[in-house]
Amino acid sequence: MISARQLAKRYGSNTVLQGIDFEAAAGEFVVILGQSGAGKSTLLRCMNRLLVADGGELHIDGIDAMRCRDPRLLRRKVAMIFQHHHVVPRLTALKNVLTGRLGSTSVLGSCLHLYRRHDIALAHECLARVGLAHKAHERTDALSGGQMQRVGIARALAQQPRVILADEPVASLDPRTARTVLQYLRDASRELGITVVCNLHQVDYAREFGDRIVGLARGRVVFDDDAQALTDADIDRIYEQPAQAPAKAETNSATEATMSIVTSAVIAAKPAAR
C-alpha cells in the first residue's frame, strides 16, 4: 500500500530525512517512534504531499506521490489526523464528519452544505464506529477533547481512505482516553483494511497497538520490525542520539488545521511546499 525507497527531505541545509526505506501493507497499523526532531512528522507530510520529498521514491496505492500532477488524487486516498483535531467548533459532530465527504460533493452542494442521503448515512455510520452516534447533533465545542479527536477519526473514515496518517493523535489526551482513541484507529485498520501510519511518543502504546514499529533517529530508520520484537536496547537506539532542534515554522499548525478539514474534503488544490 505504501512503499518508500531512499526518501530524502531537506529544509534548507538541514537534511531531515536521510534515505528512508518504508513499507506498509493494506490494513497494517504501523507506529513510528522517534525523539522530537527525528523526522516523523516530515515523513507523514511527504506521504500526503503536504511536502514534496527531494529524493527517492514514494508510491501510495499505485500513485507516484512525488510526481503525480494532481495531489488531490492522492489526498482522496490518504486521510490525515493531527494532534489538535481541528474540528469546526460551531458545527455539529455530524456536519464535521460530513466535511470528509466534500471531495465527493459538487461545489454548489458543498458551499450550501447540501449532502446526499448516502453521505449522511455514511457520516452516521462513521460516528457510530467511534462510539459517538448519540452525539451526532451536538456542537463539537460541547464535546471533550477525546470525543473531538474521535470526531476527527470519523471525519477521516468518512473520506473512505485507503490510508490514514495520524500525527501524534493522542498527545494531548489522558491515558485512558488515549487508549480508546487508539483502539478505534486500530479497529478501523483491522475491520476496514485501512493502512494506518501513526506517530507516537509513547512506547507502551506503540507495543500495545502497533502491528509494526518503525524507529527513526536523525532521519534514518534504526528499527523496523514487529511491535513485539522491540527490545529495551532498540528503544535506547531510537532515543539515545541527540535530536535536531525542533524549530518548526509557525505556519505548520495553520496548515494542519486547513489540511485536516480541507484535505479530507479534497478541495485543497494549492501546490505542495518544497
Contacts with ligand ATP by CB under 6 A lie at 11, 14, 16, 34, 36-42, 244-249, 252
8 Å CB contact between 52 and 272: yes
Task: Give the dihedral sign, CA 196/107/97/84.
Answer: positive
Report the nearest approach of ligand ATP to the CB of residue 249 (Å). 4
Q: Which is nearer to ligand ATP, 15 or 160 (CB)?
A: 15
Residue closer to ligand ATP by CB (options 82, 115) is 82
Residue corresponding to grid cell 518503525: 214
Smallest gap from Cβ 38 to ligand ATP, in A, equals: 4
Residue length of the chain: 274
89 vs 246, beta carbon nearer ligand ATP: 246
Q: Which phi and psi angles does 137 have, rounded to 5°? A: -105, 15
Report the Cα–Cα distance between both ends of the chain, in Å, rounded: 24
Which of 102/214 has CB closer to ligand ATP? 214
Given the C-alpha cell 498527545, which residue does it identify? 171
Q: For residue 132, what are the contacts with CB-CB under 8 A and spacing of at least 6?
A: 93, 147, 150, 151, 154
Taking the least distance from each CB to ligand ATP, the nearer of 14 and 228 is 14
Rg of the chain over CA atoms, in angstroms?
Answer: 18
Least Cβ distance, residue 173 to ligand ATP (angstroms): 16
Dist. CA 249–CA 108, nearest whole Å: 35
C-alpha cell at 141: 465545542
Spell out where the chain has E strands. 2-11, 14-24, 29-33, 55-60, 63-64, 78-82, 163-167, 195-199, 212-217, 220-226
User: Whose CA is closest to 52, among 21, 10, 22?
Assistant: 10
Nearer to ligand ATP, 24 or 130 (CB): 24
Quote the least distance from Cβ 39 to ligand ATP, whole Å: 4
Residue (160 or 244) nearer to ligand ATP, CB:
244
Kindly state the cell numbers that stand for 21.
526505506
